[in-house]
Chain A
Amino acid sequence: MMNRKLAWVITLGVVAVFAVFFLAPAGMVIKQAFEGTDADGGKIWTLDFIGAVFSNPIYREGLWNALMMGVVSTLLTLFIAFPLALVAHRYDFVGKKFLGILVLAPMILPPFVGAVGIKQMLGVNGAFNALLIDVGMMDGATPFDWLAEGRFLGIVVMNALHLYPILYMNIAAALANLDPAMEQAAENLGCPPWKRFFKITLPLAMPGVFAGSSLVFIWSFTELGVPLVFDFARIAPVQIFDGIKGLDKNPVPYALTAILLVVAALVFSLAKLVMGRAPLGTAPRPKGRSDGKKIGGWKGLACAGLFLGVFVIAAIPHAGVVLLSLAERWYGTVIPDELTMRHYIEALGNGLVVPSIQNSLMYAGTATLLSVLIGIAVAWVIVRSDLKIRSALDAMVMLPLAVPGLVMAFGYLALSQEGKPFHFLVGAGGSPFMLLVLAYGIRRLPYVVRAAVAGLQQSNPALEEAAKSLGATPMRMMRRVAIPLIAANLAAGAILGFAFSMLEVSDSLILAQQAQHYPITKAIYSLLSTLGNGTELAAALGVWAMVFLSVAIMGAAVLGGKRGGLFKV
C-alpha cells in the first residue's frame, strides 16, 4: 500500500493543478449558466437556466440522443475492438506485426478535411454511389443519400470506426499483461474455449476494457464533428456549439454544458462501480510471453483478413482525404479522373508549414510528457492508495475529455489577457507555448490516466514491495520495477495523448494567435481558406500529418514493443 502522506501530497498537488488550469478556465465560462439578473439588474446565483434546459423537450431530446449515441457507439466499438485484440493475443498469423499497427491508423484523421473526405466518399454524388452506379447496382437518376438516411446508425458506425483503436490499444495492453499460465491452467482442466473466455480472459482483461470503454463513451457522448457531418443538430454537443457561437448571449448553452459534464462524471463513476474493480486481487506477473499459437492456412488468412477488413472500412474517410489531395477534379466518379501533385507542392511549400511542424512537435511533445508525469502520479493514488477521495479524483481527471473545446479555449483566452492571472504563461513575443502545453496536456490527461490505472491494476504490488525491502530507493523502484511493468499501458496512453494533441483544434485556433506560433492544425485551417483549391491544399497537409503520425506511432511501437509487449513488433 502506498504511503498515505505521499498519496495526500500527490492528490493535493494534482487537485491544485487541476483547479488552476482546468476548473478555473472552464468554470469561468460555464459559470454564466448560473448567473441570473435580479430586479435591479445585479447578478444573482440561479438554477433557472438548468431548469430551462430540462423543461425544454428539444434539449431533453438532445441530451438523450447524446447519451444513446455514447452508449451504442461504445458497445459497437467494443464489438470491433475486442475480437481484434483477442485474435492478436491468441494467434500468430501471417502479416500480424504489420496489421497490428495498421489497424491503429484510423484514429489519425486530420481535422477539417476529414469531414470533406467522408462526403467525397459517401455523399449523394460521392465515390461509393458512383461505384454502385458503375456496377449497375444503383440507378443514376435516384442515388441514395447515405448521410441523410438512417443518420443515428451512420453516426454510431462512424464513431465506432474512428474510436476502436483507443479500445484496441487498451485491451491489447491488458491482454499483454495477462499471465498465460492462467489460461493454460483452465485449458488443462478441460475448460471449453468460450467458458475460458468469460471466466478467465475477460475478467482479467477488464481493467483495459473499462479504461478504453470509458474513454470511448465520453468521447462519443460529447462528439461534435461526426453529427455535424451527418447534419444532425438535435444532440447536446451540437446544441452547445450552435448556442455558444450564436449572436445572442443566452446562458442556456452553458447550462447544457454543465449538465453534460455532470452526466459524464456520473456515468463514469457508475460504470466504474460496476466494472472498474481490479480483477482477482493481485495477479502474478507473467513469466514468459507467448506470441500466440501459430496458425497457418485458411485460418491464418481469416485472421489477417479480419484485420485488413476492419482497416479498409475504417480508412474510407482517410482514403477520401488522400484522393482529394491528389485530385485535379473529382466529381461523381469513383476516383478522381485527373490526378496531380500540384496541391502537395503548393501546400508543403507554404511558409507556414515548416514552423508549424516544429511548433506542433514542441507543443504536443511537451504536453504528452506533462500528462504522462501527472498521469502516473494520479494513477498511483487511484490504484495504490486507500484515500477515500480517490474515486472523486478519478472522475475529476476524466472531465477534460467531456468539456467542449470552445469552452476551454475561451476560458484560457480570457484568463491570459494582459493583467489577468494566466498572463505570465504568455511567452516572449506572444508565444502560446505554455498555454498550449497546459491546455493540450490537461485535455489529453484522461488517456494516460486510464492506461496507467489499468496497468497498475494488473501489475503485482508485491514486486514493488520486494524491490523496496531489498533496499531500492523509491525512485529506483519506480525506474527499474514499477514503470517497466506498466510500460505497455503507458505507451498506449502516451501515443493516444500525443496523436490527439497534434490534431487538437479549438485551443490551437484560438490561442495560437500569430502565424509564427501556429501548430499544424491551424496551418491546415489557414490553407483551407485559400480560394480555388483550399480544400485540396488542406487535404495535402492533412495527409502529410497522417503519414508523419503513422510513422511516429510505428517508432513508438518499436521502442515500446520490446518492453511492454503492446505491439509485439
Chain B
Amino acid sequence: MKGRLIAILGLLGVIVGLPLAMKRESETASPASADDRLVILSPHNESIRKEFGESFAAHWKKEMGRTIYVDWRTPGGTSEIRMVIDAGFKAAEETGREGIGVDLLFGGGEPDFAGQAKLGRLVKLEVFETNPELFGEGGVIPEVFTGERYYDADKVWVGTCMSQFGICYNPDFLKRIGLEAPTNWQDLGKPGYAGSLALADPTKSGSVARTFELLVQAEMQNSKAAGGSIEDGWDEGIRLIQRMSANARYFTDSAPKIPQDVGQGNAAAGMCIDFYGRSYAADLLTKDGKPRVVWIAPKGGTTMSADPVAVLKGAPNMGIAQEFVKFCLTVDAQRLWFQKPGTEGGPKERALHRTPIRKDLYVPEILALTTMEGAMPYDDEGNFTYDRELTGKVFNTLRQLVKVMCIDSHEEMKSAWQAIIEAGMPADALAVFHDVSKVSYGIAGQGDAGLDSRDSMVQAERMQELGEWFRGNYREAREIAEKSNPVKP
C-alpha cells in the first residue's frame, strides 16, 4: 500500500510538474510588480486581448517609461458582461460610490454601448478633444457609415473596428444536399436547408437583434424599390425569419459555435460575424487544402457596424483609460486588427481578421501586409444603408417576436415545415404557416404595445397569446400538409 501510494504521488507530481516545466515566459508585467494598472471588461477573444494588452504595455513603457499590468475581466459574453455591470452599478448606487472598479468597456455591439450610455454609465472621451482631426467630415473615422453610428453623439464611446454579420457555409455539406452557395439572406430560407442551419440568438445579443432588424428592413426597402409597400415588405421579412428559423438546428449566443459547427460539417450554413468567419475560413482546411468554411457578406440586408470602446464612470485609473482609447485609434494599434502575424507592426501570434475603423489604413502598402488584401470597406456600401426611421422602434418588439414565433415555438414550427416540404410545398398549408396577420406592420411595425410594455405581466401575457396563436397555425399547417400529401396519409 505504501509503495502504491508513493507511485501515485509520484505520478501526480509528474502531471503537475509538466505545465511547470513547459511554462513560457510572458512579457507582460505581473500584477504585483507593475507601476500602473488598467482594468478592462471585455467580451473580446483571448487573441485580441493578448495582442492589445501586450501592445499597449509596450506603448506605455515607451511613452511613460512605466510598466503596466492590464487586468482583463472576462465573465463571459455580452450577456454576462451586462449582468456584471448591472450588479456593480446597482451596488454602487446603493452605497454611494461612483464606479464599479473597472476602467474600460472594450468590445461588444453598438446597441450594448448605446444602452450603457443611456444609463449614464460612460464618461466623455478625451480623444475627441485631443485629436478632433480624426473624426467626422474630412477625418478618418466617419460619424455614420451604412447608416451605423461609429461614435456616440455625446462622444462617450467610439468604434475601434467594424464588423458585419454574414453567412458562413460549408461547401462539402452544400454539395451533399445539392444546394448552390448562398448569396443573400433569402437563400437561407430555402427548404433544402431544413435541419442544417445554425442561427444566432437575437434575444441575448443586441448585435444579433440588430441583424434580424436589418434583414426585415432590407425586405421593406426592396419592396418599396419594386413599387410595393413597406407593409408588404415587413410581412415578407417576418416570413423570411420564419423560413430561416424553421430550417435552424438551434439559436445560440455563442458566436464561435456557428462557424465551428459549419466547419466541422455539423451544419450546412449559418449566420456568422465576419471575423470568426474569416478566421475559421483561414484555419479549417480539408485534406487537399480547400477551405471548409466560406464566409460571405449577403447582398443587401447587412451593415458595417462599429465595435466600440468606452470609459466607465468612476474609473479608478481614469487617465490611463483615456490614454488606452487614444491608443486604440492610433495607426499602430489599428494595424493589429488585420495584419498578418509577424509582419512589421502586426500582431505577434495570431491574425485577428478584423476591419480597422480608420479609413487611412486601407492603402496598398498596409493592405499588402494583411490577411484581407482586397478589403475596401469604405468603397463599397454593399447597396444597403440602414434607415433608423424605418425599423428603429421595433428593435425590442422584433426580438420578442422571434422568441415567441420561432424560438419558443420551434418544435411545432419545425414539424410543420417538415410536413410542408414532404408534401411538396402545398400553397394552402404554406399560407397558414406564413400567416403573420397578428403582427402586421400596422400592429407591430412601430413597436408592439404588449411586447414592448414596461409591465412584465402585460408582456408575458402578450407573449403567451402570440405564442399560442403561432403554434396553433403551425399545427394546422402541418395537418393540412399531411392531408394533401399523397405519400403519407
- Give CA–CA (A351, B396) in the complex, Å: 42
Contact of B45 among A252, A529, A547 (CB under 8 A): A529
The answer to whether B12 touches A555, judged by C-beta atoms less than 8 angstroms apart, is yes
Instruction: Across the interface, name the chain A residue whose C-beta is closest to B101.
Output: A418
The answer to whether B249 touches A231, judged by C-beta atoms less than 8 angstroms apart, is yes
Q: Interface residues of B, CB < 8 Å — how many?
A: 95
Contact of A548 among B15, B173, B249, B411 (CB under 8 A): B15
Q: Is A55 an interface residue (CB 8 A)?
A: yes
Report how many A-B pairs have Cβ atoms within 8 Å. 213
The answer to whether B46 touches A527, judged by C-beta atoms less than 8 angstroms apart, is yes
**Shortest Cβ distance from A520 into chain B, in angstroms?**
10
Q: Is A116 an interface residue (CB 8 A)?
A: yes
**Shortest Cβ distance from B350 into chain A, in angstroms?**
5
The answer to whether B264 touches A331, judged by C-beta atoms less than 8 angstroms apart, is yes
Contact of A514 among B31, B253, B467 (CB under 8 A): B31
- Give CA–CA (A112, B279) in the complex, Å: 20
Contact of A247 among B73, B249, B399 (CB under 8 A): B399
Q: Is B119 an interface residue (CB 8 A)?
A: no
**Shortest Cβ distance from B178 into chain A, in angstroms?**
9
Instruction: Across the interface, name the chain A residue whose C-beta is closest to B464.
Output: A56
Q: Is B8 an interface residue (CB 8 A)?
A: yes
Contact of A332 among B204, B265, B459 (CB under 8 A): B265
**Shortest Cβ distance from B171 into chain A, in angstroms?**
12
- The residues of A that contact B26 with a CB separation of less than 8 Å are 351
Q: Is B209 an interface residue (CB 8 A)?
A: yes
The answer to whether B45 touches A247, judged by C-beta atoms less than 8 angstroms apart, is no
Contact of A252 among B47, B204, B460 (CB under 8 A): B460
Instruction: Across the interface, name the chain A residue whose C-beta is closest to B96.
Output: A419
The answer to whether B75 touches A509, judged by C-beta atoms less than 8 angstroms apart, is yes
Contact of B265 among A250, A252, A331, A562 (CB under 8 A): A331
Q: Is A281 an interface residue (CB 8 A)?
A: no
The answer to whether A331 touches B286, judged by C-beta atoms less than 8 angstroms apart, is yes
Determine, out of B76-84, B125-133, B298-306, the stretch whose residues face the partner at the interface.
B76-84
- Give CA–CA (A552, B100) in the complex, Å: 40
**Shortest Cβ distance from B54 into chain A, in angstroms?**
12
Q: Is A283 an interface residue (CB 8 A)?
A: no
The answer to whether B204 touches A353, judged by C-beta atoms less than 8 angstroms apart, is no
The answer to whether A532 touches B283, judged by C-beta atoms less than 8 angstroms apart, is yes
C-beta contact mask, B429-470 vs A, less than 8 Å → 1, else 0?
Answer: 000000000000000000000000001110111001001100
Contact of A351 among B4, B23, B251, B464 (CB under 8 A): B23
Contact of A36 among B19, B249, B457 (CB under 8 A): B457
The answer to whether A353 touches B19, judged by C-beta atoms less than 8 angstroms apart, is yes
Q: Which 9 A-B pairs rank lowest in CB-CB distance, beginning with the nearest?
A: A125-B265, A419-B95, A417-B91, A529-B45, A231-B250, A123-B266, A245-B79, A531-B47, A348-B19
Interchain Cβ contacts under 8 Å between A and B, 10 examples: A57-B468, A58-B409, A233-B407, A245-B80, A417-B100, A420-B95, A515-B72, A531-B350, A534-B256, A548-B15
Further pairs besides A247-B399, A534-B45: 14, Cβ < 8 Å: A233-B410, A245-B204, A246-B79, A247-B79, A248-B396, A353-B23, A354-B19, A514-B71, A516-B31, A526-B74, A528-B46, A544-B18, A551-B8, A555-B8
Q: Which residues of chain A have a CB within 8 Å of any CB of chain B?
A: 36-37, 48-49, 52, 55-58, 116, 119-120, 123-126, 141, 145, 148, 231, 233-234, 242, 245-252, 329, 331-332, 337, 345, 348-351, 353-354, 357, 410, 413-414, 417-420, 429, 509-510, 513-516, 525-535, 544, 547-548, 551-552, 554-555, 558-559, 562, 569
